[in-house]
Structure 1
Amino acid sequence: MTEAWDAAVEAQIRGAVQRGEFDNLPGMGKPIPGRGMPYDESWWIKSFLEREKLPSDLLLPTPLQLRRRIEQVPDEVRDLPTEQSVRDFVGQLNAQIVAWLRNPEGPRVAVRPVNVDEVVHRWRAERVRPEVTTPAVAPVTAVAPSRRTRRSWWLRWRRRG
């Protein structure tokens, strides 16, 4: 029975080739991506993340995702307009941390709630700090030192030594 099935499938493939249904397919004549590379069990996840332009942090377990978010708090609150928005942001993050602490799953990683007052204090300090601006200075044209100036510098240096 399998031989008859194989013969029928082969006949359909030969007919499709003769009709030209396999001509000009996308990727024709190009090497197969990943050929010659060692097998990776999560190749489809990695290709999905790359294709959809998603961060690879999504593959991390929950406690590591939370730790990474805690590290990024200063960068994320820097552009928030009000103190209340900073407090709300940190409050939402702390709610996620507490929810994980109540029902931890994944690797045991130390994760603690973020100190809201400390984040607000840093946020204020960055807001008060004046922007460092370079004063407008007229461009200076470079003038090559005269031969006499270079020689006198050399003589002064030799006398010291």
Structure 2
Amino acid sequence: MTERKPPGVSFESWVDKQIREAEARGEFDHLPGAGKPLPGGNDTSYDELWWIKQKMAREGLSVLPPTLALRKEAEDAVARALDAPSERVVREIITSINVKIREVMFKPPPGPPLGLKPYDVEAVVRDWRERRSAGSAD
């Protein structure tokens, strides 16, 4: 659309006319999703941030307070450690997450309290060994 709005014509009516003419020419017929309801259209409440939330969901992003994000990271670290291929890797994973936990313990970020303390590396290594020996018994 390269036309300019003629002087004296209201912007709304000029835009409506452009849309009506493009529709008559069939320019909207082959758009993705043509004839289908808009995603999220069933929701009766309007959320002005809907597009941001959809973009974040598509990108796999989340906005959590730093302490809650660290809690999730700590859970994932323990799970990774328990599935690690060697004791050295278990120790590296747990030592690394412990550094982050200690940072938050001594310099709390904004948000809810962390509610975690550093993991006992030896206890996680013990659990890792038990899981490994149980898996090899199958």
Please give the range of the TM-score, normalised by the shorter of the 2 chains: 0.7 to 0.9
Aligned CA distance change for structure 1 residues 42 and 104 (closer, same or farther; 3 Å): same
The letter for the 1-side match of 2:39 is P
Aligned partner of 1:95 in structure 2 is 99
TM-score for the superposition, normalised by structure 2 = 0.72
Deviation, structure 1 residue 46: 4.0
Partner of 1:69: 73
| Letter paired with 2:89 | S
Contact 1:97 1:112 survives alignment (8 Å): yes
Where does residue 27 of structure 1 map in the other structure? Answer: 33
| Matching residue's letter, 1:43 | W
Shift of 1:125: 2.3
Which residues of 2 match residues 9-158 of structure 1 at below 5 A? 9-37=15-43, 38-40=45-47, 43-52=50-59, 54=60, 58-101=62-105, 102-129=107-134, 131-133=136-138
- With normalisation by structure 1, the TM-score equals 0.64
Deviations, residues 130-158 of structure 1 (Å, cap 9, x unaligned) = 6343xxxxxxxxxxxxxxxxxxxxxxxxx
Question: Larger Cα Rg: Structure 1 or Structure 2?
Answer: 1
Other structure's SS at 1:39 match: coil
Please tell me whether the aligned partners of residues 82 and 127 of structure 2 are also in contact (alpha carbons under 8 angstroms).
no
Identity of aligned residues (%): 38
Which residue type is aligned with residue 39 of structure 1? Y
Give the gaps of 5 or more residues in structure 1: 134-161
CA distance in 2 between partners of 1:116 and 1:99 (Å) = 17
Task: Report the Cα distance in structure 1 between the residues aligned to 2:18 and 2:48, rounded to whole angstroms.
Answer: 33
Provide, for residues 99-131 of structure 1, a one-character-per-residue CA deviation record: whole Å limited to 9, x for no partner: 223242211232211111211122122223363
Shift of 1:91: 1.4
| Amino acid corresponding to residue 110 of structure 2 in structure 1 | E
